[in-house]
Amino acid sequence: MAHRELHYRWQYNLKASPEELWPFVSDTNRFNRDTGVPSVEPGKTRQRLRNARHRLRQSIYGMAVEWEEQPFEWIRPSRFGVTRTYSKGPMVELRALAELTPRAAGGTTLTYEVSLTPRSMFGALSVALQMKFVSARRFARAFKNYDDLVLQDIPPASTDSTVELSSAAIDRIDSIKLKLQTDAGETEIIDRLASFVQTADQFAITRIRPYQLADDWNVSRRAVLELCLKATRAGLLDLQWELLCPLCRGAQETGSSLREISSELHCETCRIDFKVNFDRFVELTFRPNPSLRPVEMQDFCMGSPQRTPHIVAQQLLAPQSKRVLSLPLEPGRYRLRALELSGGIDVSVTAADGINEAKVAIAESGWPQEPLKLATLSSLELENATATEQLLILERLAWSDQAATAAEVTALQTFRDLFSNEALRPGEQISVGTLTVLFTDLRNSTRLYREIGDATAFGRVMNHFDVLKKVITDEDGALVKTIGDAVMAIFRRPVGALKAMLAAQELLAAPPDGMPPLTLKAGIHEGPCIAVTLNDRLDYFGSTVNMAARLESLSTGDDVVISHAIYDDAEVCELMRAENLQAAPFEIMLKGFDEERFELWRVSKKTNCAADLRG
């Protein structure tokens, strides 16, 4: 017979705000590790558990413990809790609840409650001793530590004092570091990366996100991303492509090469099939090369709110039940959905005209039609009018901008240079979202060959590729391929392509050493593209690419021909104003495109006008 329930309650007064503490305190994976809880493993079950429940097990002092865990329930940044029902071990049930309440004078009152039902008298005794003499002290120390990290502005997971690398590994890291510093310069961030690899927390090291490091270090994101790519080639890091589920954003598959990526995937938790999109769902992360620092993947908690930080509230509602949530929300776009009921509703949060009391009921027939507009502090009544239990999820729609997406990385010259063999599996086509596509060609190159002779002209053409590659790289673009004298390049932003072309035309028109000037024709368009593998290289296809090629053919060489999409771009407008560029509109008919009439612009530098003004 089970013993009566034991109840423990601790209260801590912390200096940081609930908002600041939330990423640390609700990271129960970290908290369990920091408080000495053994790692967990999936339990043996063939049965599919409902609503993201987990069957888990662990070994405590050599004793096998196994349980079924309900999904965590939380409201960011005020509370979270979980219930476990045990099938093996000294307990029958455990409930944990953490509440973070802001104090009037600043700071947070953190209340942590644990309720336990021991299986027997002996279980009760061992649990009571553990709680009173071990856990209480560890909990207090962990929360105090998180409070200190927030106050010192130290990002989660920056250092772990328990990491000890062999002296051989440290020597090798040092020699790779020196080599990188000799080859690439950038002494300071190379130092930081090398020391991060040696000292960072086990959790952070399994998934190094270059943009996050750059933000933490307050340096350029591109510099850190390029450094991680070079460090991978130098043997310090390994790269991994993570394929993320569009709903829970968990990694559903990880590949060490794009070749391992398939475009159709399935998420078991969300029970959905989805198509991979480079723009969002494929993220490049890194980990140390295992010969330098072996990475042990250990889980201490599977359902932690910090595994899905974009979900601001998650609640499990029994059939035919209601619950009122008090929600502090940042302005922005959200979606309310249920894990096992299709559909959902859009929720927008505004400080200006959102309502502060609302009700949403879901029925067998689905969701209400009306979107919801909430205030930044509101009371939301959720009703589950269906006959089955529902896990309700309120999530932010914005994706983390700290992800280095495959679309961005593959459009980077450093990546294409260092990983020239990276290609997709043959036959695979993956959407890369919106790219800026540039085509160039030399005007009158036939005449050039005739006038200065084949050998000299060839040298000049080769040299012009170097000029193009440099200006393209300088503007965050990547050269995809050359076709005869022509070049195809891609950029993440239109303004980079335009700047690169204006610079290239100027350089080629006034070459050093009495070489003949070259006239460069250029066309730029922006739109959705598809990535494919062609001749073992990552290439791009689609009507955006075809259109950019057509625009180049319309260029006279004293201009860059741009489409409406480029002309309308805010940064391009700004550049035109700042550089006093001339944009002459013209219209053409193009067969084979959705529309037939196109409005285009010839962009050029107003050199004459500027000279007149100065004169």
Shortest separation between residue 461's beta carbon and Zn ion, angstroms: 50
Point out which span in 78-86, 225-233, 243-251, 439-447 binds Zn ion (CB under 5 A).
243-251
Please say which residue, 253 or 417, places its beta carbon nearer to Zn ion: 253
**Residue 54 or residue 492: which is nearer to Zn ion going by CB?**
54
For Zn ion, the closer of residues 281 and 540 by Cβ is 281
Q: Which residue has the tokens 């010969």?
A: 291
Measured CA distances, 606 to 211, 280, 504, 563 (Å): 38, 39, 16, 20
Least distance from Zn ion to the Cβ atom of residue 440, Å: 42
Q: How far is the CB of 272 from Zn ion (least distance, A)?
A: 7
604, two tokens: 């050029």
Question: Which residue lies nearer to Zn ion by CB, 247 or 471?
Answer: 247
- C-alpha separations of 347 from 248, 355, 362 in Å: 18, 11, 15
Query: How far is the C-alpha of 157 from the C-alpha of 30, rounded, in Å?
Result: 9
Considering the complex, state which of residue 248 and residue 497 has its C-beta at the smaller distance from Zn ion. 248
Separation between Cα atoms, residue 415 and residue 432, nearest integer Å = 16
Select the residue interacting with Zn ion from 245, 284, 372, 424 (CB under 5 A): 245
Interface with Zn ion includes 247 (CB under 5 A)?
A: yes
What is the rounded distance in angstroms from the CA atom of residue 319 to the CA atom of residue 412?
51
Give the shortest CB-50-to-Zn ion separation in angstroms.
15
Cβ–Cβ under 8 Å, residues 89 and 130 = no
Of 102 and 246, nearer to Zn ion (C-beta) is: 246
Classify the C-alpha dihedral 457-461-466-467 as positive or negative: positive
516 near 452, Cβ under 8 Å?
yes
Task: Using the CB atoms, write b or e for 397-431: b if 16+ within 10 Å.
Answer: eebeeebbbbbbbbbbbbbbebbeebbbeeebebb
Number of residues interacting with Zn ion: please give it, by CB under 5 A: 6
Site for Zn ion in 316-335 (CB under 5 A): none
Identify the CA nearest to 35 among candidates 146, 188, 167.
146
CA distance 57 to 86: 9
* Measured distance CA(569)–CA(496) in Å, rounded: 11
Contacts of 292 (CB under 8 A, 6+ apart): 165, 169, 172, 173, 197, 235, 236
Q: How far is the CB of 22 from Zn ion (least distance, A)?
A: 22
Contacts with 436 (C-beta within 8 Å, 6 or more apart), sequence order:
477, 490, 491, 492, 493, 494, 496, 497, 524, 525, 526, 566
Residue closer to Zn ion (CB basis): 16 or 247: 247
Binding track, positions 248-287, relative to Zn ion; x by CB under 5 A: x------------------x-xx-----------------
Are residues 541 and 555 in contact, defined by beta-carbon separation less than 8 angstroms?
no
Based on the shown chain and the rule CB under 5 A, indicate whether residue 529 belongs to the binding site for Zn ion.
no
Strands (E) in 309-353, as ranges, are 311-317, 321-328, 332-338, 341-349
Of 555, 551, 605, 552, which is closest to residue 576 (Cα–Cα)?
A: 605
Pick the closer one to Zn ion by CB: 79 or 307.
Answer: 307
Closest distance to Zn ion from the beta carbon of 265 (Å) = 10
Measured from the CB atom, is 267 or 442 closer to Zn ion? 267
Determine contact, residues 392/309, Cβ cutoff 8 Å: no
Q: Which is nearer to Zn ion, 337 or 492 (CB)?
A: 337
* Least distance (Å) between residue 283 CB and Zn ion: 14
**Least distance in angstroms from the C-beta of 268 to Zn ion:** 8
Provide, rounded to whole angstroms, the least separation between the CB of residue 315 and Zn ion: 18
Residue 395 CB, shortest distance to Zn ion, in Å, is 11
User: Could you tell me what percentage of the chain is helix, strand and coil, using 3-state DSSP and rounding each to the nearest 5?
Assistant: 30, 35, 30
The nearer residue to Zn ion, 343 or 585, going by C-beta atoms, is 343
Least distance in Å: CB of 269 to Zn ion? 5
**Minimum distance from residue 313 beta carbon to Zn ion (Å):** 17
Which of positions 575-594 make contact with Zn ion (CB under 5 A)? none
Specify the stretch interacting with Zn ion by CB under 5 A; choose among 244-252, 341-349, 397-405, 551-559: 244-252
Based on CB atoms, which residue is closest to Zn ion, 173 or 276? Answer: 276
Length of the chain counted residue by residue: 615
φ/ψ region of 2 (left if φ > 0, alpha if ψ in -120 to 50, else beta) reads: beta
Q: CA–CA separation, 567 vs 521, rounded Å?
A: 18
Residue with structure tokens 């991303």?
225
Nearer to Zn ion, 234 or 338 (CB): 338
Smallest separation (angstroms) from Zn ion to the CB of 242: 13
Residues that bind Zn ion (CB under 5 A): 245, 247-248, 267, 269-270
